[in-house]
Amino acid sequence: MCLSVPARIISIDGDMADVSAGGAIFRAGLQMIDNPREGDYVLLHAGFAIMKISEKEALETLRLLQEMRDSLE
Protein backbone atom coordinates (compact mmCIF):
# COMPACT_ATOMS: atom_id res chain seq x y z
CA MET A 1 0.00 0.00 0.00
CA CYS A 2 2.87 2.29 0.51
CA LEU A 3 5.76 1.13 -1.54
CA SER A 4 5.34 3.16 -4.70
CA VAL A 5 8.23 4.47 -6.72
CA PRO A 6 8.38 7.18 -9.39
CA ALA A 7 9.00 5.58 -12.78
CA ARG A 8 9.16 6.95 -16.31
CA ILE A 9 6.95 5.52 -19.07
CA ILE A 10 9.29 4.18 -21.77
CA SER A 11 6.80 2.59 -24.13
CA ILE A 12 3.08 1.88 -24.19
CA ASP A 13 1.27 -1.07 -25.73
CA GLY A 14 -2.44 -1.14 -25.18
CA ASP A 15 -3.22 -0.79 -21.51
CA MET A 16 0.26 -1.89 -20.38
CA ALA A 17 3.56 -0.07 -20.40
CA ASP A 18 7.26 -0.56 -19.87
CA VAL A 19 8.37 1.86 -17.17
CA SER A 20 11.84 2.61 -15.94
CA ALA A 21 12.79 3.09 -12.31
CA GLY A 22 16.45 3.95 -12.08
CA GLY A 23 17.18 2.10 -15.31
CA ALA A 24 15.44 -1.17 -14.40
CA ILE A 25 12.45 -1.82 -16.62
CA PHE A 26 9.16 -2.97 -15.12
CA ARG A 27 5.84 -3.86 -16.63
CA ALA A 28 3.00 -1.65 -15.39
CA GLY A 29 -0.74 -1.62 -15.94
CA LEU A 30 -2.02 1.77 -17.13
CA GLN A 31 -5.69 1.10 -16.47
CA MET A 32 -5.87 3.78 -13.77
CA ILE A 33 -4.16 6.59 -15.71
CA ASP A 34 -5.82 9.21 -17.90
CA ASN A 35 -3.99 9.89 -21.19
CA PRO A 36 -0.69 8.27 -20.37
CA ARG A 37 2.20 9.30 -22.63
CA GLU A 38 5.77 8.21 -23.12
CA GLY A 39 8.02 10.33 -20.93
CA ASP A 40 5.36 10.79 -18.21
CA TYR A 41 6.39 9.93 -14.69
CA VAL A 42 4.01 7.72 -12.73
CA LEU A 43 3.96 6.10 -9.31
CA LEU A 44 4.59 2.38 -9.74
CA HIS A 45 2.89 0.21 -7.14
CA ALA A 46 2.47 -3.57 -7.25
CA GLY A 47 2.70 -3.69 -11.03
CA PHE A 48 0.37 -0.73 -11.73
CA ALA A 49 0.79 2.94 -12.44
CA ILE A 50 -1.49 4.44 -9.77
CA MET A 51 -1.01 8.15 -10.43
CA LYS A 52 0.83 10.56 -12.68
CA ILE A 53 3.38 12.70 -10.93
CA SER A 54 2.88 16.40 -11.46
CA GLU A 55 6.15 18.02 -12.45
CA LYS A 56 4.61 21.41 -11.79
CA GLU A 57 3.68 20.57 -8.22
CA ALA A 58 7.00 18.86 -7.61
CA LEU A 59 8.90 21.97 -8.66
CA GLU A 60 6.58 24.18 -6.60
CA THR A 61 7.25 22.14 -3.46
CA LEU A 62 10.99 22.41 -4.00
CA ARG A 63 10.74 26.12 -4.76
CA LEU A 64 8.88 26.79 -1.52
CA LEU A 65 11.44 24.84 0.45
CA GLN A 66 14.31 26.65 -1.21
CA GLU A 67 12.64 29.95 -0.32
CA MET A 68 12.37 28.78 3.26
CA ARG A 69 16.07 28.00 3.23
CA ASP A 70 16.98 31.33 1.71
CA SER A 71 14.95 33.20 4.31
CA LEU A 72 16.74 31.45 7.15
CA GLU A 73 20.21 32.49 5.97
Partner 1 sequence: MNGVFMKYIDEYRDSKLIETLARSIKSAAEGLYTFMEVCGGHTAAIHRFGIRDILPQNIRLISGPGCPVCVTGKDFIDRAIAMSGIDNCIMATYGDLMRVPGSLFSLEKANASGADIRVVFSALEALDLAERFPERKIIFLGIGFETTAPGTAVALCKAEEKNIRNFFVLSAHKLMPPAMEAIIKDGTGINGFICPGHVATITGSSAFEFISGRYGTACVVTGFEPVDILQSVLMLVNQVNAGMPAVEIQYTRAVTIHGNLRARKYLGQVFEPGDAIWRGLGIVPESGLVLRDRYGRFDASSVFPLSVVTKDDDGKCICGDILRGLRTPSDCTLFGKVCIPSDPVGACMVSDEGACNIFYRYGKHE
Partner 2 sequence: MNEFVTINHGSGGRQAQELIKKVFADRFMMEEPLTDSAFISAHNSGTAFTTDSYVIDPIFFPGGNIGKLAVCGTVNDLAVSGADPAFISASFIIEEGFPVDELEIIAASMADEALNAGVRIITGDTKVVGKGKCDRLFITTSGIGYLKEGRIFLGRGELVKPSDKLIINGPLGNHSVAVLGARTHAPFSTSVVSDCSCLNHMIKRVLDNTKSVRFMRDITRGGLAAVANELCHITGLGVSVIEEAVPVDEPVRGICEVFGFDPLNMANEGKILMVVGPEESQEVLRIMHSDPAGKEAAMIGEVLEENQKVVVMNTRAGGRRIIDLPSGAQLPRIC
CA distances from 39 to 1, 11, 17, 29, 47 (A): 25, 8, 11, 16, 18
Q: Which does 12 bind (CB under 5 to 8 A by kind): partner 1, partner 2, none?
A: none
Looking at residues 13 to 72 of the shown chain, list those that interact with partner 2 (rule: CB under 8 A).
20-27, 44-47
State the sign of the Cα–Cα–Cα–Cα dihedral 22, 27, 33, 34: positive
The footprint of partner 1 (CB under 8 A) covers 1-6, 8, 21-23, 27, 29, 31-34, 41, 43, 45-48, 50-51, 53-55, 57-58, 60-62, 65-66, 68-69, 72
